[in-house]
Amino acid sequence: MVNKVNRELTLKQKRVLQALEAFILDRGYAPTIRRLGGDLGISSPSAVFKHVQSLERKGYLTREAGELRLAGRPAGGGGEVRVPLLGPVPAGWPREAFDLPGETVDVPEWMVGRRAANVFCIRVEGKSMIDAHIDDGDRVVIERTDTAASGEMVVARLDDGSVTLKRLRRENGRILLVPENPEFAPVEVRELRVLGRVIGVLRKY
């Protein structure tokens, strides 16, 4: 006899799913287990992880390349949003600030959530972020922000006015813009202006 998965949710599982939906629709990506636990007031990461696993087994969540996704199309997130397309921005050596060609591109609504007015796309040139699955010609979805945490991928303007796409690292008082390709060296800067952080990648095959 084949066991069937019970799709009914407990009250705690409903709370976890609601918190995940709100976070993903707002930011376009899933929270960490610790962040999710903090939002829910659950101190045990293992308890949160068990709830997430249950939601996966019951078909409410899926994983794509290790990232949690809402199964199917989230409510209110099945369409597309038109956002400005800027660029190109080098994922290589920094250069002059990106152009403003007046073009637009359609981005899945689930990716931007409620941040549509604060999102733009860039065209990428170069292969310095190839190990982060960002290749030459990709269109990268960026959320406008002037702050970013260490470890996030950002579009940054340097003191000389040049712009680059790299991973931000802050180590022992140093500010590094780190490529995801061993053929490129990190760039150390004294000051930088963050223009936005990466929230998604669009690619045509």
pLDDT at 168 over 80: yes
pTM for this entry: 0.60
Q: What is the model's pLDDT at position 76?
A: 43
At the top level of CATH, which class does the domain 80-202 belong to? mainly beta
* 73 has a pLDDT exceeding 50: no
Closest CA to 132 of 184, 167, 183, 164: 167
- Phi and psi, residue 85, nearest 5°: -110, 115
The model's pLDDT over 15-52, given as tens digits with 9 standing for 90+, comes to: 898 888 878 766 667 888 988 999 899 999 899 999 99
What is the chain's mean pLDDT, rounded? 82
Over the stretch 116-162, which tens digit does the pLDDT of each residue have? 778 888 888 889 999 988 998 898 999 989 888 898 999 998 877 78
Determine whether 128 is an active site residue. yes
Please tell me the number of Cα atoms within 13 Å of 90 on its side-chain side: 13
Q: How far is CA 174 from CA 28, 88, 146, 186, in A?
A: 29, 28, 18, 12
Return the pLDDT at 191.
85
Q: Which residue has the higher pLDDT, 155 or 79?
A: 155
pLDDT of residue 129: 92
**Domain extents in the chain:** 11-70, 80-202
Q: Of 44, 46, 50, 166, which residue is the catalytic one?
A: 166
**Mean pLDDT in residue range 96-105:** 66
How crowded is the C-beta side of 68, counted as CA atoms within 13 Å? 23
11-70 is classed CATH 2.40.100.10: no
Q: How far apart are the first and last CA of the chain?
A: 43
Q: What is the pLDDT of residue 185?
A: 92
Q: Is 43 known to be catalytic?
A: no
pLDDT at res. 50: 92
Q: Which of 4, 46, 127, 128 is catalytic?
A: 128
Using the structure block, give the residue that is written with the tokens 């007015």: 117
Dist CA 153 CA 128 (whole Å): 12
